[in-house]
Amino acid sequence: MSAAAPAALARDGLVAIAPTAEKAGPLTAPARSGRFEVRLAESAADIEAAQALRYRIFYEKMGARPLPEMARHRRDADRFDAVCDHLLVCDRSRGAKDGIVGTYRLIRRKMARRLGGFYSESEYDIAPLLAYPGEILELGRSCVDPAYRPRPVLQLLWSGIAAYVFRYGITLMFGCASLPGTDPDRLAVPLAYLHHHRLAPPELRPRALAERYVSMDRCPTQALDPVQALAALPPLIKGYLRLGGFVGDGAVIDEQFNTTDVCIVVRTDLVTQKYSRHYMRQSQDHMGRPIRWAHRR
């Protein structure tokens, strides 16, 4: 792939930057499942399609408030899109323009350094995570086309994340995950459940910035029905918890996205255990072709 000029558009929070020609090595992960393919963005058009999907989900479906330039172009974008890797699930039957049906944004340490920090640092003090040995990975901007949610798109995204973890030796993943709405009292049960049952150990515990801190300790633990509380959590957060994930101290209200955020922390050993046998089978199967990632930065 030829190198592309950076910064196709960058104003009022809207950023689209094409990947560089730098290549990552092959990853032993399935590239395709039926008509679906999981890969990293390889062009400015890929990134713009991912931003368009994010806009449809976050702004048109979930009630986020776009900046004027975002609304004009109908794309969710910010400065982190310029340095991250965009993980994509594509429906190859729909063509290049409309085929991206799931996406995740992946940011490693050296990517974040280019912008002076991670996205999560606008909401949380993540010093314990920055001090963690090894490579760390921030996950964000996860979304799936509603028409594809009964299909294995999220599973393919997680397969791609696990492959990325293998490729870069990621030891810890983290990121802001959202509950719908900005009234923490209406979210008292799930927030309290996370606080009482899933709080990260002190050495791995981010804390909401003082000026944005919202207590999650909104009802006593004896008043909680854990089954009911767990059921009230969004599927994505439940997925992180199933991988052994923790949450940081305090929630944050995100008025732009119409959400209440928590900081999720996941050690990757459980993720790699879940997928490693599958990948080993693929790498040994002459019919299995590894993903070749075209990574950026």
For the stretch 147-157, pLDDT in tens is: 988 778 888 89
Instruction: Tell me how far apart the alpha carbons of residues 91 and 186 are, in angstroms, rounded to a whole number.
Output: 37
Buried b (16+ CB within 10 A) or exposed e, 240-257: bbebebbbbbbbbbbeeb
- Please report the domains of the chain, with CATH numbers, ordered by start residue: 9-286 (3.40.630.30)
Structure confidence by residue, pLDDT tens digits, 134-143: 999 999 999 9
Instruction: Tell me how far apart the alpha carbons of residues 239 and 245 are, in angstroms, rounded to a whole number.
Output: 9
Structure confidence by residue, pLDDT tens digits, 176-225: 999 999 999 999 999 999 999 999 999 999 999 999 999 999 999 888 99
Strand, coil or helix: what is 36?
A: strand
Instruction: Tell me how far apart the alpha carbons of residues 58 and 62 are, in angstroms, rounded to a whole number.
Output: 5
pLDDT at 155: 85
Average pLDDT in the chain: 83
pLDDT at 280: 41
Buried b (16+ CB within 10 A) or exposed e, 280-292: eebeeeeeeebbe
Strands (E), 34-80: 36-40
pLDDT at 275: 56
Instruction: Tell me how far apart the alpha carbons of residues 68 and 39 are, in angstroms, rounded to a whole number.
Output: 31
Give the residue ranges of the chain where pLDDT is below 70: 1-31, 96-97, 270-297
Please give the C-alpha separations between residue 154 and each of 109, 119, 145, 158, 210, in angstroms, as whole numbers. 25, 22, 10, 6, 34
pTM given for the model: 0.83
Q: Which tokens belong to 267?
A: 């050690």
pLDDT at 19: 45
Q: Say which residue the tokens 């509950």 belong to.
A: 179
